Structure 1
């Protein structure tokens, strides 16, 4: 764990960035099952809304093969969906002025980042955020890459640069802190939706 990421991430000090969870782009992922990746991404959005974490959404070239953002995001976070930053070909989301300004406007230093694909959409904003001094947690299973090796390489690169690599369940538990608190009670309901149902 780096000195940057030693401070716990909480609902009060964190912003959540969901990058390019688009119906076309998600179909290119082969390193994780589509339904699992989708459920994890939606759980992150639900958690942000439930506990008051600022949520920034962005997409890339929605009119092309990448397609629109997941329609469920419009149901979960209608205001954030309407305000999503629609990039036109900019690979690193932080190179888009509107996205960078939206993140700054959250007033939060700690950043949770999940994107599709990890090897393109996630890695470059993560490296940029780290270079700008943000502690970053990358939720690796709320995204994926076309191949497992591409995903592994991207995750190693982000880890080596100082990001904390985490999973959806692990992050939700960290944000809850205590299941008996108001936030913990809200988050555990979202977490239970992700667990296998017997």
Structure 2
């Protein structure tokens, strides 16, 4: 497959995975959002991919980012971009500058919610010439209809829609390689274990 995303050429952007905002993501079970977000963060950290975190209005109902992110990626958590309320984080200079500083032109995005916090930066980054994949099952929307509308709008602007397992497999490329083995372990521990051993 041409134009694969790899840990060597992609950056991971986790947007507004906040303890209050997750309550708005009714279209995806909350425990699934947390598991998938953990898997994506661990994949970035354990493969050396740049990881950029951002939050919106932490002092309001949205609250702090998931404690899991601080546990998994303490440096990225400490450096998170705290937005005062800008909806499209791509238009907020400190966030965009943090992404540009990674030097990567391939971006993997996930966040809360898909219909507000992800749809706009995914489209904006695509319009600025970046290749963007949005991991929809590491986010959600207040309704299934809202989620479907967000996906349709992103696709119509050239954003690639993906899932947690799908993008992790793409990043792994080969399960027998050191990187692939590390990603497979993360996928099993965070996503698959409950299915296999449940």
Q: Are residue 37 (structure 1) and residue 33 (structure 2) matched? A: yes
Q: CA deviation at 1:115?
A: 1.0
Partners of 1:134 and 1:153 in 2: how far apart? 22
Q: Which one of 20, 31, 34 corresponds to residue 24 of structure 1?
A: 20
Match of residue 153 from structure 2: 157
Match of residue 122 from structure 2: 126
Question: Within 5 A, what are the aligned runs for 1:1-198?
Answer: 6-193=2-189, 194-195=191-192, 196=195, 197-198=197-198
Partners of 2:155 and 2:127 in 1: how far apart? 13
Q: CA deviation at 1:86?
A: 0.2
Superposed CA deviations along residues 148-187 of structure 1, whole A, max 9, x for unmatched, are 0000000111011111100000010000000011101100
Superposed CA deviations along residues 76-110 of structure 1, whole A, max 9, x for unmatched, are 00000000000001000011110010000000000
Partners of 2:165 and 2:14 in 1: how far apart? 16
Q: CA deviation at 1:6?
A: 4.8
Q: Secondary structure at the match of 2:110?
A: strand
- Any gaps of 5 or more consecutive residues in structure 1? none
Q: Secondary structure at the match of 1:113?
A: strand
Partners of 1:141 and 1:130 in 2: how far apart? 20
Superposed CA deviations along residues 53-95 of structure 1, whole A, max 9, x for unmatched, are 1000000000000010001101100000000000001000011
Partners of 1:103 and 1:90 in 2: how far apart? 16
Partners of 1:106 and 1:12 in 2: how far apart? 11
User: Post-superposition, which runs of at least 4 consecutive aligned residues in structure 1 deviate over 3 A?
Assistant: none
Superposed CA deviations along residues 16-49 of structure 1, whole A, max 9, x for unmatched, are 1000000000011110100001100111000000
- Any gaps of 5 or more consecutive residues in structure 2? none
